[in-house]
Amino acid sequence: MPAASTRVPQQQRSRATQARLLEATVDCLIEHGWSGTTTTVVAARAGVSRGAQLHHYPTKAALVTAAVDHLAERRAVELRTEADALPAGPRRLDRVVDLLAAAFTGPLFVAALELWVAARTDAELRDALVPLEARVGREMHRLTVELLGVDERRPGVREAVQATLDLLRGLGVANLLSDDTARRTALLGTWKRQLVTLLTPDGERH
């Protein structure tokens, strides 16, 4: 079947081209921000022809949305792998919060924030991003529940997980222009102790 044998390398090449474009997009967003990210700059950075770039991602909105989606999936896999390596026991919650805090101060957060803010005043980007934001938000919530190993059916657990993610988003913004590590570490130290109380049945205050 000669058709199949040429089709498979073709698909692999397409996937490799797409991956190079998406990585270059994220790098570009982090380095130059939304306004400095153009499809031409991204194609050059990825070493991909303009034609191939337009074939895979016809608009800037399509390209940047796919890039953040791609990075979010990769970060979720990395977070699971890192969390799998954590020892069980009472310190596990602390380490999971540290992993999440690193995610909210890392490249995915910075690239996503560039898009969220740009989308506020760009209708095409906004239409593409709103469903992605909702999906990534749900997946991040589910992943956090899984990594913490908690049962969301218990009262207060869902709210505690939500508050943790909203707090981490706020801390991510506070870290944008200056290194906020010392303050964040101290604050999360307090938050971890509260979280133990909120998440463990014996600590319930209601």
Q: List contacts with its own copies (CB under 8 A).
A: 31-36, 110, 113-114, 116-122, 126, 129-130, 133-134, 137, 156, 159, 162-163, 165-174, 176-178, 183, 186-187, 190-191, 194, 197-198, 205
Q: Which amino acid is at 165?
A: L
Query: Looking at beta carbons only, is 148 or 161 nearer to its own copies?
Result: 161
Q: How far is the CB of 112 from its own copies (least distance, A)?
A: 10
**Given CA atoms 71, 73, 77, 82 in this order, what sign does their dihedral have?**
positive
* Residue whose CB is less far from its own copies, 113 or 143: 113
Q: CA dist 104 to 3, 39, 45, 48, 110, Å? A: 45, 26, 26, 30, 8
Minimum Å gap between C-beta 20 and its own copies is 22
- Whole-Å CA distances, 161 to 39, 142, 150: 37, 9, 9
Q: How many CB atoms lie within 10 A of CB 52?
A: 17
Q: How far is the CB of 195 from its own copies (least distance, A)?
A: 11
Nearest approach, Cβ of 45 to its own copies (angstroms)?
15
Asked whether 64 and 53 are in contact (CB, 8 A), the reply is no
| Helices 60-84 + 123-148 axis angle, to 10 | 10
Q: Select 63 or 118, whichever has its Cβ closest to its own copies.
A: 118
* Minimum distance of its own copies from residue 74's CB (angstroms): 22
70 close to 88: Cβ distance less than 8 angstroms: no
| Minimum distance from residue 117 beta carbon to its own copies (Å) | 5
Euclidean distance between the first and final Cα of the chain, in Å? 67
Q: Which is nearer to its own copies, 13 or 183 (CB)?
A: 183
Kindly tell me which of 17 and 37 has the beta carbon lying closer to its own copies. Answer: 37
CB nearer to its own copies: give 67 or 168: 168
| Cα 44 from Cα 31, distance rounded (Å) | 15
